Amino acid sequence: MLSQRPDLKLAKVTDAGGDNWEYTATLPAGPEILDFFHATEHLAAAIAAVHGDGTFATRHKFEFLRERLLHEDCGAEAVINALAHLQRKNPRIQKIGTVLRYFRKNKQRMRYAQWKREGFMIGSGVVEAACKTLVAQRLKLSGMRWGTRGAQAILTMRGWDQSDRFDQAWALVAATYQCEVHVLANVIDITPTPEKKSRRRTSG
């Protein structure tokens, strides 16, 4: 895609699970962005471990830090400082330490205010939804098994349809396989005509 559209901006958005960052490091240059909603889930869990799940204090503290993380250039640093403060006050709650290490490790992947200004996506939800509607709903029906070539053939046309570009894409395909046909003039049909069998009349 980038070879066709080098002007496009590439952002590598994922959660911090498994070997995701090792994989994104093999892709072309672009910012590595920790999915904002995964980050806030961890933040909410740490605060709830202190103030209780669903309490007013948890909701208030979470919304305050969430807004700072989203809108401030140093939002990740502010959240890290707040979590460190909670850890000092509640050293026996292990969840705070786990989330604090998570934020410290991914701090450079949480520059959400900057990336929003630059026009990058900060969440992977749109891509995940596209995977579901484009791939899963078509290829994961009961009893289906696919090889790479067959699945790609189906998904290519499904992608055209879901992006409202089927007619344009089909016109390009049709043009590729067009060939010029010469129709001969004054052609005489010399196909033999089968003889008609005569019916015998019988008298009774």
pLDDT at 204 over 60: no
Tell me if 123 is assigned to some domain: no
Mean pLDDT over 74-89 rounds to: 97
* 107 shares its domain with 156: no
* 155 shares its domain with 80: no
**Non-local CB neighbours of 95 within 8 Å, separated by 6+ positions:** 45, 46, 49
In the chain the beta strands, taken as DSSP E runs, fall at 12-14, 32-34
Q: How confident is the model at residue 203 (pLDDT cuts 50, 70, 90)?
A: low
Q: How confident is the model at residue 106 (pLDDT cuts 50, 70, 90)?
A: very high
pLDDT at 127 over 90: no
Q: How confident is the model at residue 184 (pLDDT cuts 50, 70, 90)?
A: confident
Q: Report the DSSP pairing between strands 12-14 and 32-34.
A: parallel
* 24 shares its domain with 53: yes
Crossing angle between the packed helical segments 94-105 and 36-51, to the nearest 10 degrees: 160
What phi and psi values does residue 66 have, to the nearest 5 degrees? -60, -45
CB atoms near residue 155 (< 10 Å): 16
Domain that holds residue 141: 135-176
pLDDT at 112 over 70: yes
176 compared with 84, residue with greater pLDDT: 84
* 106 shares its domain with 21: yes
Question: Whole-angstrom Cα distance, residue 170 to residue 86?
Answer: 59
Identify the pLDDT of residue 180: 80
Mean pLDDT over 101-112 rounds to: 95
* 98 shares its domain with 51: yes
* 61 shares its domain with 19: yes
Report residue 8 as tokens: 């496009």
**Count: domains in the chain:** 2
* 97 shares its domain with 144: no
Cα atoms found within 13 Å of the Cα of residue 60, Cβ hemisphere only: 4
What phi and psi values does residue 64 have, to the nearest 5 degrees? -60, -50
